[in-house]
């Protein structure tokens, strides 16, 4: 459930939010642009954490099934 939510947010960010990386100097971003970058980073890190947790859970289940 958590992975699905962060995948959805990630796609929504990609579609709706501006692409900040195209600006030449990231040190000169406005406050709103900094907030957008922070939000995108937060969603990206949470999605990666959720994907890793799902991978670990699947590996543990597979190891548990082969041990029996």
User: In this structure, is residue 63 part of a structural domain?
Assistant: yes
- Confidence (pTM): 0.76
User: In this structure, is residue 54 part of a structural domain?
Assistant: yes
User: In this structure, is residue 25 part of a structural domain?
Assistant: no
Q: Which residues contact 7 (CB under 8 A, 6 or more apart)?
A: 47
Q: What is the DSSP annotation of 31-65? A: HHHHHHHHHHHHHHHHHHHHHHHHHHHHHHHHHHH
DSSP code at position 15: H
In the chain, which residues have pLDDT < 70? 23, 66-68
Which residue has tokens 């579609």? Answer: 15
User: In this structure, is residue 26 part of a structural domain?
Assistant: no
User: In this structure, is residue 44 part of a structural domain?
Assistant: yes
Domain count along the chain: 1
Domain that holds residue 48: 2-18+31-67
Q: Which residues contact 13 (CB under 8 A, 6 or more apart)?
A: 39, 40, 43
User: In this structure, is residue 38 part of a structural domain?
Assistant: yes
User: For residue 22, what are its two tokens?
Assistant: 């195209």
pLDDT of amino acid 67: 58
């Amino acid at each position: 459930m958590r992975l699905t939510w962060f995948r959805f947010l990630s796609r929504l960010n990609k579609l709706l939010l501006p692409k900040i990386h195209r600006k030449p100097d990231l040190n000169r971003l406005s406050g709103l642009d900094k907030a957008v970058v922070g939000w995108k980073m937060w969603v990206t890190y949470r999605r990666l954490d959720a994907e890793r947790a799902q991978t670990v859970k699947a590996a543990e289940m597979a190891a548990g099934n082969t041990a029996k």
